[in-house]
Amino acid sequence: MEIIQEQEKMVSLPRIGDKAPEFKAVTTQGEVNFPHDYQGEWVILFSHPADFTPVCTSEFITFAHLENKFKNANCNLIGLSIDGLYSHIAWLRTIKEKIEFRGMKNIEVKFPLIEDISMEVAKKYGMIQPGESKTKAVRAVFFIDPKGFIRALIYYPLSLGRNFDEIYRALIAMQTADKFSIATPADWYPGDDVIVSPAGSCSVAEERMTNTDGLDCEDWFFCTKKLDKDTVLSDVLKN
């Protein structure tokens, strides 16, 4: 019974809409007080299984290569693994000095990488999945908004490298939904039509089907409208 309870505790996951669990930690960029240090900004907090592993190395090169792109979207990157600070430093130096991936080389990882030998942070965020590994964090991705709330989370197994186009797309889609009070359909990218909230009454449903007013309604509950790419990016991205 104690073993089962411990496993359940280890895989306890924060939920969408929850306040991001707070923690203080040592990182490769100094101490962080999370999420207080990032009020007013988006954060992508992500975990990886271990330093000096090939899939993780490919991901860190890619994240570091894209860091300015995320920064322009008012979003900070923070990594975590259950490794010590000196291991982190040695690994990031090796990445910069020796590793090339898909034409990306001499890549310096400037965003913080959390030391979490105690697994304290990993357990708070449900990054330890005993069915996958009891000693390594899975590839978790948490999207945390400027008010410190968890808005989305994605989990990948140890063997599967992340899709960074999707991570960026999800970030921009959530920011667009916040800004324009809309929803985004399947496979949405900036410039595609967006979804208008379903009608909340019979009269509104009838009006939508008889008065288009810039809406394209397939039926009373499924209406879209144009939202051009320049409008999205000028309002969402930093100048």
- Number of neighbours of residue 214 by Cβ within 10 angstroms: 9
| Pairing state between β 75-81 and 150-156 | unpaired
Question: Of 112, 91, 92, which Cα lies nearest the Cα of 33?
Answer: 112
What does the alpha-carbon distance between residue 70 and residue 63 come to, in Å, rounded to a whole number?
9
What does the alpha-carbon distance between residue 115 and residue 97 come to, in Å, rounded to a whole number?
22
54-71 and 85-98 helices, crossing angle to 10°: 80
What does the alpha-carbon distance between residue 13 and residue 155 come to, in Å, rounded to a whole number?
11
For this structure, is 217 an active site residue? no
Distance between start and end Cα atoms, the chain? 55
Q: Is 20 in contact with 148 (CB distance < 8 Å)?
A: yes
Q: Is 208 assigned to a binding site?
A: no
Q: Which residues are catalytic?
A: 56
Residue numbers belonging to the annotated binding site for substrate: 139
Residue numbers belonging to the annotated binding site: 139
